Structure 1
Amino acid sequence: MTAPLDQAELLRRARRRSSTPAPAIGTGTGPGPAPLSHAQQRMWLMDHLGQGGPRYHVPLATRLRGPLDRGALATALTTLTARHHVLRTRYGRHEDRTHQEVAPPAAVPLPVRDATPDDAPALLRAEAARPFDLATGPALRALLLRHAPDDHTLLLTIHHIAVDGGSLPVLAEELGALYAAAAEGRPAGLPQPELQYADYARWERSRDDRLAAAAADRAGRLTGARPLPLLRPAPPGAPERRAVLHTAPLSTDTLDGLRRLGARHGATPFTVVLAAAFAALRAATGSSDLVLGCAGGHRARPELRRLIGLQVNTLPVRAELPEPDGDPAFTAVLATVRTALLDAQDHHDVPFDLVLEHLGPAARGADGTPLLAVSCDLVHPADPLALPGLTAEAVEVELGLAKFGLTLLVEDGPRPRCLLQHDPAVLDEPTARRLHAAFAELLTAVAADADRPLSRLPGARLDPPAPPDRADDHRTDQHPAVAALLADPRVTDAALHLAAHGPALAFATVRGPVAPSGAELRAALRDRLTEPGRLPLAVTLLDRIPRRPDGTLDPARLPGLPTPHLDAVLDVFAELLGTRPAAEGDFFGLGGHSLVAVQLAERLRSRLGLPLTGLDVLEQRTPRALAALLAGRAAERLATATATATTETRATRAGTVLLTGASGGVGAALLQELVAQGRPVRALVRPESAHLVAGTGVEVAEGDLADPDSLRRAVEGADTVIHAACTFTEHAVDVAALRTLVEGWRGTGGFVFVSSIDAYGRPAPGEVPEGGPSAGPLTPYGRAKLDCERILLDAAPRARGPVAVVRSPLVWGPHRRLRDQLRWAATGALYQAALAGRPILLPEAGAGTDAGADWSGAAWVHSAALARAVTASLDHAPGRIVNAVSGHVSWTEFTAELVRLLGSSSTVTHGPDADPELLRPWRYRSDALAGPLRPEPGEDWRAVLATMTGRPAGTL
């Protein structure tokens, strides 16, 4: 154990750091694009792997009351991005090297939307969560909500790749000065930035040799450390980690006591909080050797203090706490943690990603849990963006996403709080609540008496998750994987083989005209089997499960795991990792990391012509598992090619139907309906999703909504178009794609655009007629749909075939993508609350509506009914704008059924403080398509909801 440092040694180290000469950072050095800094490289990788998203967005929202000059604000934002290049930088890749390149200065759009203060939270969350495209930039966008002429909320959303916490005060200060200057029509008089972030990135990369050597030393400091026993590995296939936040108030006396404690022992308040986190986790786990993460900055150098950009690094702090013999006081823990933290801060410039590379397999536990899955911080409430002449109030925008499995926090402000944030997939709710309570009580106790022995401090041992149970072969019928497979109505039989050595393999037989693939079934299992070790390596489809006379599985007659691509996978592993592994070799154990995963996927994709992503590599982890995944995708692609080859002889109707979005939930239903009708179909799908589209009469056209050339190729020669694809968030892409398809369509068989009832906006309560006028405010999604509709309808007089817009509400159905929408669409908050057992508050009858509107709920349509309605519109468009609605369900009915299906302990009440997003007092007429929308067996809302939640209808 490292001995704690005394005050004299602390002073010597501080003086040594301040007196060490540092090499100068050059400006404007190097031709062409600059490399990414190490911190930016981590952000880029997370985004490229699909594991970034909103959790790496930085939203800054401020309520502004007073006479706001919107023109001056827009000018200030534009000038700000002109001054700091990183705010208008785009991130590309050439061969195996990433780079950053500054885009030319351009005006920053400042869209203004009318919104009531009650509507604002949902609008702010939606805007803050909207994805960035790092390849095209920029990394900053703005939105202004207008509540009244002198009452606005300004939201700036910035990608973390461009800013850190130290950048925000500089950004806020300059924005205020630029706004004042623009409002008064004078120059701001701000000095030009001393450095641009690209200068810092080049300087950091010039020191890579020294940093690599230092990273090896830091990795050695972590050798032998283990992940926190309380955490289980995150299930694969869930890149968006949802967060649960627990809060408890702390008294100002407690915060003052923690500060005084730190002052007495030469420690900062953060060091005291970190020591308390170590002590709480020691009590919970019984382990004296723990590793926690904290943020370290690179702003000690004077020239970096006003540099806007990502200058943070994750510091792993390993503290080997005093053994319980002698029952040491909390001050002994504080001394140990202070020394460990100082050691980490002495090496704050060593990039954490380099440390992970040197750790190799030691960066994760045997079950895949990251070594650094717990973090700690002392935070302060965000300051508002103060603009001269206006009253500013900070507005919190909580996206509910977790960067770590567990984070322990103390908020120091006017209302101090103790917080615990956790990913429920890696730490269960009861354990998190107990740990949070213990942490809050411990902070209060040590603030009052830090000399108290550890045995007398709050906290109790918490049990780690149970290890996975590997049953014998004769017990596999009871395995959770088998039960989960059989719960799928498309699966007729299932079995699991657990060999004495090697992976668990699942087998299934399926039914239905568009039956699931083995890869789809395994993906569905990821959502159900959250315990480590439960997910089988692969799901192989068979015509029949081989069984003995007594009904048990006969392993001798099972086919072997398909491995036709194993040699190719092993070759690429050897090329990138320097050694040819065993078929069961673990990717991380072989020294793999995120960038290698991306490179490995790209090489295999290029050589085999099969879709594969870096996330696939991280999830499968072994060469054999990757080979099995590729074999399944090859079989699916072969089925697609075979079906396409037979189209010429099997087509029963003339004219090709171009279907966009065929790999999504709505598209899958449309594809099934078109194939059943015998129509020749050309399905537009992304290359990585092409393997999902297989069926008689299907021709695959690989393309993307953001690629106009691929859209032109796809629509060429198509007689009919059904446009059902949508980015949901990149509205400019959606509008441009629709325009490209309309301009390229020359057929006579019809053009149907699948739109949304969001295009109606918020009309008067009651019945909404088909094609009625839109009423503000519209959501950005609804506005984009309306813009797309107008492009198509404007072209209708010149079209050679019928044109129709089919507006649909929430789409419910058995497809996996639709089950995801249940969790995150308008029903998402209710679903998440019921799943967690939290109280649910619904609107009162008539709340927020005109007199006489006593209903609020959701309009919905079954995916199969929507498909029938859309295809019915092809031959004789019933009108320019029609609705496709299966029915309406009140929030009271929906929530009661959801609570029942999930076996939830949630209580349901009604009140005026309910989420305004639930105020939906509209019933949409759907007369023109009433015939095809007539429900068929199994299409009632209770049955489809049971399917989407994975619970059989009529049972608990």
Structure 2
Amino acid sequence: MTGPTLWSGPDAATGLATAGGFALSSQQRFLHLVDKGDGFGPFGPRYTIVGGWRLTGAVDDGRLRAALGDVINRHEALRTTIVRDTAGAGQLTQDVAAPDLTVLSLTGGSPRGRDRRAEELLNEIEAQELQPDRVPVLRAVLARFDGDDAVLVLAAHHTAVDGWSIQVVVRDLAACYAARGAGSEPELPVVRQYRHYVRWQQQSVDEPQVARARRFWRDNLAGAQVTPLRMDLPRSLQTPGTTAWYRYESGAGVQAAVRAYAAAQRSSPFMVLLAAYLLHLRENTGTDDVVVPTFAAGRRPAWTAEMVGSFFNMLPLRVDLGGCRDFAAVVARVRAQCLAAYTHELPFLDILGEAPDLMRAAAEEWHASCVFQLVQSPYIAVGERVGDIGYRAMRRRLLSQARGSQIPDGALWAIEFDAQGRTFGSIGYGRGQFRQQSIDDLVTGYNRTLARLLDSPERL
């Protein structure tokens, strides 16, 4: 597969670069590579990320709009769009961009009724289109139940903003809103811009640690292919379609059991969840050599932690299950692979350069890949008060939807733990590739496997 010509050099010195443009990052170049131009890929209007927060306290519309402007001015990525011209693809930043804030009224009686209506609002906004060439790339909606109870929804195009970034945005928004109310400057760390990260990435391409990472992936993935899911419809009969989201909550006690077993094995909860998923895949495919992609934050170097942009990397985790006699042995192998992969983290485009056949099985007529992750974003407000407003992230979403944020191909499975000890998850999947019943069966089978392993870890 041949990729598009892309602006290159520290300042993207060709094409629209004369207007101040700069090159795509490796993460964005991969998105550009897989986009088919049909409106359903990463450069289409449905490739969005949406977050919701319940606000308590009297929110001033004018002050919120001004604070939103402060955040847009602070983070250049929110004023930057990806463009293509005769020289290839790159990104352009506007000096100013007016905040996009919509104010609505909501009806809801009991607290439970309001929670459901708030979640319905998130689904409604997630089903809407957001053009990738509009500035700012961030849209905000404030919906009030009454003078002291509101919902804040932030939606952004996913080529410019990742899951970590949306948490940075709401943290900075809360600080700017409080500072404007107090007549002071917000206490926020100094932040660099996404173009600085792109330049750092370009200048690091020949660094020794990058060469070591490339060697690791070349050796680790030799002869490997991502272990796919079987689709319900072959690719030759598929037409581009929307992405549905199946959401669920696991039984009581799952989080506590996973955390306890992870601690006993000197591992993380993600490693335990992934180990169970690998065994579930083996039961369904009969293979011991299992490769599953997951997401890593991609926040290297450390100064990227405060930034807004597209940083996440997809890492293929390869685990040989042969010879494992109990669950502890599987978790140990998963731990070793995770630590090695995180140590040698690279953008997925660079990994594919070392393992070009990695996605072959996942692109076959009846197969597609499934990314598996445990959501662990920073800055998630679980009930914080900043100034005169309380913020609580809406993490527990249980309403499935037939149309939501786009997954370019295959499926994305995300599991999350909340502060109350509950476990819930979501799977985004192409409606033209999978039936909902197949996704339901996948979740049911995995949860059954996980429960069995936690209850009797001495036998597989």
TM-score range, shorter chain: 0.7 to 0.9
Shift of 1:106: 2.9
Tell me what 2:292 maps to. 292
Shift of 1:204: 0.7
What CA deviation, in whole Å up to 9, does each residue of 1:769-821 have, x standing for no partner? xxxxxxxxxxxxxxxxxxxxxxxxxxxxxxxxxxxxxxxxxxxxxxxxxxxxx
Change (3 A) 1:366 1:264: closer
Tell me what 2:278 maps to. 278
After superposition, residues 609-624 of structure 1 pair within 5 angstroms as: none
Aligned-residue CA RMSD (Å): 3.4
After superposition, residues 546-695 of structure 1 pair within 5 angstroms as: none
Point out the structure with the larger strand share: 2
Conserved in 2, the CA contact under 8 Å of 1:54 and 1:129? no
Q: 1:338 aligns with which of 325, 328, 335?
A: 335
Conserved in 1, the CA contact under 8 Å of 2:78 and 2:136? yes
CA distance in 1, matches of 2:228, 2:69: 49
Tell me what 2:174 maps to. 176
Tell me what 1:410 maps to. 415
Q: 1:410 is aligned with what amino acid? A: I
Unaligned runs of 5+ in 2: 1-9, 109-113
Identify the structure with bigger relative contact order (alpha carbons < 8 Å, sequence gap 6+): 2
Conserved in 2, the CA contact under 8 Å of 1:226 and 1:371? no
Tell me what 1:251 maps to. 252
Tell me what 2:453 maps to. 446
Q: Is it true that 1:206 corresponds to 2:197 in the alignment?
A: no
Shift of 1:198: 0.8
CA distance in 2, matches of 1:244, 1:129: 11
After superposition, residues 393-472 of structure 1 pair within 5 angstroms as: 393-395=392-394, 396=397, 400-401=404-405, 403=407, 405-413=410-418, 414-417=420-423, 419=425, 421=427, 422-423=429-430, 425-450=432-457, 452-454=458-460
CA distance in 1, matches of 2:425, 2:184: 45
Q: Is it true that 1:224 corresponds to 2:231 in the alignment?
A: no
Secondary structure of the corresponding residue to residue 223 of structure 2: coil
Tell me what 2:57 maps to. 66
CA distance in 2, matches of 1:61, 1:408: 19
Secondary structure of the corresponding residue to residue 322 of structure 1: coil
CA distance in 1, matches of 2:105, 2:149: 11
Change (3 A) 1:263 1:372: farther
Q: 1:56 is aligned with what amino acid? A: Y
CA distance in 1, matches of 2:193, 2:261: 40
Change (3 A) 1:125 1:387: farther
Q: Is it true that 1:303 corresponds to 2:303 in the alignment?
A: yes
Change (3 A) 1:249 1:426: same
CA distance in 1, matches of 2:393, 2:102: 20
Q: 2:194 aligns with which of 187, 194, 197?
A: 197
Q: 1:417 is aligned with what amino acid? A: T
Secondary structure of the corresponding residue to residue 133 of structure 1: coil
Secondary structure of the corresponding residue to residue 303 of structure 2: helix
Tell me what 2:103 maps to. 112
Change (3 A) 1:229 1:172: closer
Change (3 A) 1:125 1:439: closer
What CA deviation, in whole Å up to 9, does each residue of 1:132-185 have, x standing for no partner? 333343211112223334443222111222222332333222211110111223
Conserved in 1, the CA contact under 8 Å of 2:218 and 2:355? yes
Change (3 A) 1:113 1:373: same
**TM-score, normalized by length of structure 1?**
0.40
CA distance in 1, matches of 2:288, 2:202: 37
Q: 1:376 is aligned with what amino acid? A: F
Shift of 1:126: 3.9
Conserved in 2, the CA contact under 8 Å of 1:229 and 1:285? no
**TM-score, normalized by length of structure 2?**
0.79
Secondary structure of the corresponding residue to residue 50 of structure 2: strand
Secondary structure of the corresponding residue to residue 271 of structure 1: helix
Runs of 4+ that moved beyond 6 A: 27-31
Secondary structure of the corresponding residue to residue 240 of structure 2: coil
The structure with the largest alpha-carbon Rg is 1
Q: 2:369 is aligned with what amino acid? A: A
Q: 2:150 is aligned with what amino acid? A: H
Change (3 A) 1:97 1:28: closer
CA distance in 2, matches of 1:447, 1:62: 33
Unaligned runs of 5+ in 1: 1-26, 455-956
Q: Percent identity between the aligned chains?
A: 29
After superposition, residues 317-332 of structure 1 pair within 5 angstroms as: 317-323=317-323, 328-332=325-329
Q: After superposing the two structures, state which structure 1 stretch, 380-389 or 202-211, moved more.
A: 380-389
What CA deviation, in whole Å up to 9, does each residue of 1:351-406 have, x standing for no partner? 21233355445522396259871221123696468653234444458654563634
Tell me what 1:354 maps to. 350
Change (3 A) 1:41 1:107: same
Conserved in 2, the CA contact under 8 Å of 1:43 and 1:160? no
CA distance in 2, matches of 1:86, 1:148: 33
CA distance in 1, matches of 2:337, 2:83: 38
Conserved in 2, the CA contact under 8 Å of 1:292 and 1:316? yes
Conserved in 2, the CA contact under 8 Å of 1:383 and 1:394? yes
Shift of 1:245: 1.8
Secondary structure of the corresponding residue to residue 230 of structure 2: coil
Change (3 A) 1:62 1:367: closer
Change (3 A) 1:202 1:366: closer
Q: Is it true that 1:33 corresponds to 2:18 in the alignment?
A: no
Tell me what 2:7 maps to. none
Change (3 A) 1:431 1:121: closer
Q: 2:370 aligns with which of 374, 377, 388?
A: 374
